[in-house]
Amino acid sequence: MSGVGAGRLIGVGTGPGDPELLTVKAVRALGEADVVAYFAKAGRSGNGRAVVEALLRPDLVELPLYYPVTTEIDKDDEAYKARITGFYDDSAEAVAAHLLLGRTVAVLSEGDPLFYGSYMHLHVRLSGRFQAEVIPGITAMSGCWSLAGLPLVQGDDVLSVLPGTMGEAELRRRLADTEAAVIMKVGRNLPKIRRALAAAGRLEGAVYVERGTMKNAAMIPLNEKPDDVAPYFSLVLVPGWKDRPCSNAIVEEAKA
């Protein structure tokens, strides 16, 4: 599969933010890598890099891949699509240049690489040409419900992972049609999410979590949150456990 002298591509899940939530395999992969690549906003070094910073050897080559655009253009716009596709093409070639020299390239991916991660765009472009491996990471949502001590699903519960960007009626319909839900990409969608949860009869029990397992993490039952201020990467957790005798107590405790 891989050519003579070709290197190794590794998608490394860096988890929700706490460096201790890296897997042992991820730590080893970073120790073996020649190059560490990561997606980031222009001028920044990215959350994934911050998580692994203490593990980066001085001789490691860093390859930042700066997004050309983020939220300035409508994502359904054709010009945006062309630009972002070209960016992923160029990024894949920048990584390939190292792989062709026989290097091991670790690509950092916040959370889990193949679960809403940008790494997948490199994987589909390069895994046919080079040896490629994906090291899973703890997802942000898992970091959040663990921090909250909130049992999310049990037994035969259905879990729906929903983007907070979807329309209100559609969000309400889906919330009424599932035992448990995780609502991602909250940010400025919070007022809409609140209304959809209330209409679906699911506001009670819903927990708002921001900055997952970062040092400044915060959580609160959503119906007690006094404002609608939320960073983009906050989550709302809707636990599925029907008879959850302690979940509110648990959340209160985690807040204390």
In sign, the C-alpha dihedral spanning 93, 98, 99, 104 is negative
- Nearer Cβ to a second copy, position 4 or 24? 24
Is residue 109 within 8 A of residue 13, CB to CB? The reply is yes
Q: Which residue has the tokens 């959340």?
A: 251
Minimum distance of a second copy from residue 240's CB (angstroms)? 10
Minimum distance of a second copy from residue 227's CB (angstroms)? 25
| Tokens matching residue 232 | 């983009």
Query: What does the H/E/C string look like for 50-99?
Result: HHHHHHCCCCCEEEEEEECCCCCCCCCCHHHHHHHHHHHHHHHHHHHHHH
174 is a site residue for a second copy (CB under 8 A): yes
176 is a site residue for a second copy (CB under 8 A): no
**How far separated are the first and last CA of the chain, in Å rounded?**
54
154 is a site residue for a second copy (CB under 8 A): yes
Minimum distance of a second copy from residue 250's CB (angstroms)? 6
CA dist 140 and 95 (Å) reads 26
CA dist 236 and 198 (Å) reads 13
187 is a site residue for a second copy (CB under 8 A): no
- Nearer Cβ to a second copy, position 61 or 85? 85
Residues of this chain, 96-125, that bind a second copy according to CB under 8 A: 112-116, 120, 123-125
- Nearer Cβ to a second copy, position 7 or 113? 113
Which residues of the chain form contacts with a second copy (CB under 8 A)?
1, 13, 15-16, 18-25, 27-28, 75, 112-116, 120, 123-125, 127-128, 132-139, 142-143, 145-147, 149-163, 165-166, 174, 178, 185, 241, 244-247, 249-250, 253, 256
